[in-house]
Structure 1
Amino acid sequence: MRKEIVRTINNNLGNAISLIDSISPETYTDTSIGPYYSSIGSHIRHALDFFDCIIEGLQSNNIDLTARKRDEVISTNPVAAKEKINAIQTQLVSFIGVNTDYLLKVTDNLGEGKETIMYTLESILAQANTHATHHYAIISYMMQSLNVEIEIPGFGYNPSTPVPKREGI
């Protein structure tokens, strides 16, 4: 696997650590924002679940994105979330230089039941990174509703979003 991909994903995951370090545990677990009444922590947990499924499924060549652990400790404990992020980052670093030119079976529910699609490790990790960014965008809306202002440049923005349109949170 190319180190540039790992570096980019780990930087994006590092943004979640920056967020966690910038907010209170009460803000992390606040469920007062509709329409879903989920917490920032639950969005962080959900994004990490995606990476966890990838790592867990590598040995068997059967990555099942519907088999998420949904560890509520990560949703409610910012320290546990940061530990999980660090563990995922360490695992991703271990992939650098490893041959990833083979196909993996990835199962997900696309809305009409489970489907299995072939991916490379780099492509499923790129999708996981984009998925995390999507949830960061939701978190940005939640932060605005909670009147919590912090600045993490580019947080919640797809890298293809023109820089003049980015404001960060």
Structure 2
Amino acid sequence: MNIIIESSLKTLQKADLLLNKLSDDDLCNASVSPYYSSIGSHVRHILDFYDCIFNKNEDNIIDLTARCRNLDVETQCNSASNYLNITMEKLKSLDFNADTKIVVIDDLGLGKAEIAYTFGALLSQANSHTIHHYAIISYILDRLEIQFEDGDFGYNPTTPKTASNKC
């Protein structure tokens, strides 16, 4: 199996552990300032990103703005777990060449733009994107006083474990 896929699966597995710990009320609780987003909205957003990747068209175009946004995933742990399992199964069976050139459509704040990528670069971005959202989820968990015992949750693997003065 490709290292990008293995890394993504390892990262996504953390969401499975989290969803097994949460109640539906925890998943959709949007009471934490300043953004008032829920754990569920972040989980749904992560999985929608992967879903866009799986919807690559015959011209090797992937539209990251074409997200399904199933609100049940934001409010029901079972729906979120099902979506996660489907995503992980699709990743496991993904047949790709990391060097394949693709075009990614995204909105960077000024409207949709077409950006040249490789498939491997987009999958790598998806993994980093997931970790970034885990950091936000970790903040929400802390404010909701929900313990999640994973010292790496929300930390990029390159993040130092101790303070360093190297710049």
TM-score of the aligned structures, taking structure 1 as reference length: 0.90
Q: Which residue of 2 aligns with 1:4?
A: 3
In structure 1, the residue matched to 2:133 is 135
Q: Which amino acid aligns with 1:69?
A: C
Q: Aligned residue for 2:40?
A: 41
| Amino-acid identity (%) | 42
CA distance in 2, matches of 1:7, 1:101: 17
Tell me the distance in 1 between the aligned counterparts of 2:147 and 2:64: 33
CA distance in 2, matches of 1:99, 1:30: 40
How far 1:16 sits from its partner (Å)?
Answer: 0.6
- Write the deviation string for residues 70-120 of structure 1: whole angstroms up to 9, x where unpaired: 110111111111111111111111125x43432011010111111111111
Specify the SS of the correspondent of 2:25. helix
Corresponding letter in the other structure for 2:38: S
Cα distance in 2 between the residues matched to 1:59 and 1:18: 35
Aligned length: 163
Counterpart residue number, 2:83: 84
Secondary structure of residue in 1 paired with 2:139? helix
Q: Quote the offset at 1:147 in angstroms.
A: 1.0
Q: CA deviation at 1:14?
A: 0.6
SS state of the match for residue 151, structure 1?
coil
Alignment of 1:10-25 (within 5 A): 10-25=9-24
- Measure, in 2, the Cα distance between the counterparts of 1:41 and 1:134: 15
Shift in alpha-carbon separation, 1:58–1:101, aligned structure 2, 3 A: farther
1:158 equivalent to 2:156? Answer yes
> C-alpha distance in 2, partners of 1:156/1:164?
15
RMSD: 1.5
Instruction: Give me the whole-angstrom Cα distance separating, in 1, the residues matched to 2:3 and 2:152.
Output: 18
Match of 1:113 in 2: 111
SS in 2 for 1:119: strand
Extract unaligned runs of 5+ from structure 2: none
TM superposition score normalised by structure 2: 0.91
Deviation at 1:3, TM superposition (A): 1.9
Tell me if the contact between 2:25 and 2:75 (Cα under 8 Å) persists in the aligned partners.
no
Gaps of 5+ in 1: none
